[in-house]
């Protein structure tokens, strides 16, 4: 018999409902699935309803029937939510290990696993040098929260004021340069 803690943890993976979803997508009944796995329809029904947790060999047989990897059953389901408190964020200089960074960035979504995007607050200190050209294989959106910022993409410079945004294919070389006086910050989002 499983402990309450172990049962609760296994329930979070929703293995039974995942099996049922796979079975229904294939328009397969419990009897048919039983024929393919060597398990009784009653046992499969209990697994699907979360009344019984399959052993690893049993789950492997089910995965083989549906042509999925075992990890299909072990990724967390449900909403992916992560709250990042301002006090938990670290300001990291770019470039790293320098006393005169081009900008400081704070990740807004670092606790979220398997992110599909990266979100940052970028702060451009007074007197900061222009950033080095860089590129990455994704897309980028930059929204200026305060100040003025020059963003150069593939050799063309765009001057942005607070409230302006720019989006571009970030596989092109791009860099940032603070212009004007006063604080300069931006929200930067890239696709992973």
Segment (H or E) for 152: strand 148-153
Q: Which of 53-62, 108-117, 122-131, 147-156 has the lowest mean pLDDT?
A: 108-117
Query: What confidence category does residue 113 fall into, taking pLDDT thresholds of 50, 70 and 90?
Result: low
Q: How far apart are CA 136 and CA 170, in angstroms?
A: 6
Query: What confidence category does residue 1 fall into, taking pLDDT thresholds of 50, 70 and 90?
Result: low
Start-to-end C-alpha separation, the chain: 42
Calculate mean pLDDT across residues 120-140.
93
pTM as predicted: 0.60
* Residue 182 pLDDT: 85
**CATH fourth-level superfamily of 86-191:** Jelly Rolls (2.60.120.10)
* Residue 25 pLDDT: 86
* Residue 73 pLDDT: 84
Domain boundaries, the chain: 4-73, 86-191
* Residue 180 pLDDT: 86
Per CATH, which fold does 4-73 belong to? 434 Repressor (Amino-terminal Domain) (1.10.260)
* Residue 76 pLDDT: 61
Calculate mean pLDDT across residues 4-21.
81
* Residue 163 pLDDT: 98
Asked if omega into 95 is within 30° of 0 (cis), the reply is yes
Residue 41 has what DSSP assignment? H
The DSSP bridge pattern shows strands 156-161 and 117-123 to be unpaired
Alpha helices in the chain (DSSP H): 4-11, 15-25, 30-37, 41-48, 56-66
Buried/exposed code over 47-56 (b: 16+ C-beta within 10 A; e: otherwise): bbeeeebbee
Total number of residues shown for the chain: 192
pLDDT, tens digit (0-9, with 9 covering 90-100), for 131-189? 999 998 889 999 999 999 999 999 999 999 999 999 999 999 999 999 988 889 999 99
Residue 119 CA neighbour count, 13 Å, CB half: 12
* Residue 13 pLDDT: 77
* Residue 114 pLDDT: 64
Q: Is the pLDDT of residue 97 over 90?
A: no
By CB neighbour count within 10 A (0-12 exposed, 13-18 middle, 19+ buried), where does 3 fall? exposed
**Phi-psi map region of 163: left, alpha, beta (phi>0 left; psi -120 to 50 alpha):** left
The DSSP bridge pattern shows strands 165-169 and 92-94 to be unpaired
């Amino acid at each position: 018999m499983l402990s309450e803690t172990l049962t609760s943890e296994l329930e979070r993976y929703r293995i039974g409902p995942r099996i049922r979803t796979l079975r229904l997508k294939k328009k397969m009944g419990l009897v048919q699935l039983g024929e393919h796995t060597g398990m009784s329809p009653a046992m499969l029904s209990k697994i699907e309803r979360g009344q019984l947790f399959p052993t690893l060999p049993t789950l492997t047989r089910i995965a083989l029937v549906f042509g999925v990897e075992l990890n299909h059953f072990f990724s967390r389901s449900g909403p992916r939510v992560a709250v990042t408190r301002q006090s938990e964020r670290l300001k990291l200089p770019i470039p790293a290990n320098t006393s005169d960074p081009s900008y400081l960035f704070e990740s807004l979504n670092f606790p979220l696993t398997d992110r599909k995007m990266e979100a940052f607050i970028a702060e451009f200190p007074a007197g900061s040098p222009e950033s080095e050209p860089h590129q990455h294989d994704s897309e980028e959106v930059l929204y200026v929260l305060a100040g003025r910022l020059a963003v150069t993409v593939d050799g063309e410079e765009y001057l942005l004021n607070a409230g302006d945004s720019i989006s571009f294919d970030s596989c092109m070389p791009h860099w940032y340069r603070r212009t004007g006086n006063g604080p300069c910050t931006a929200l930067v989002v890239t696709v992973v």
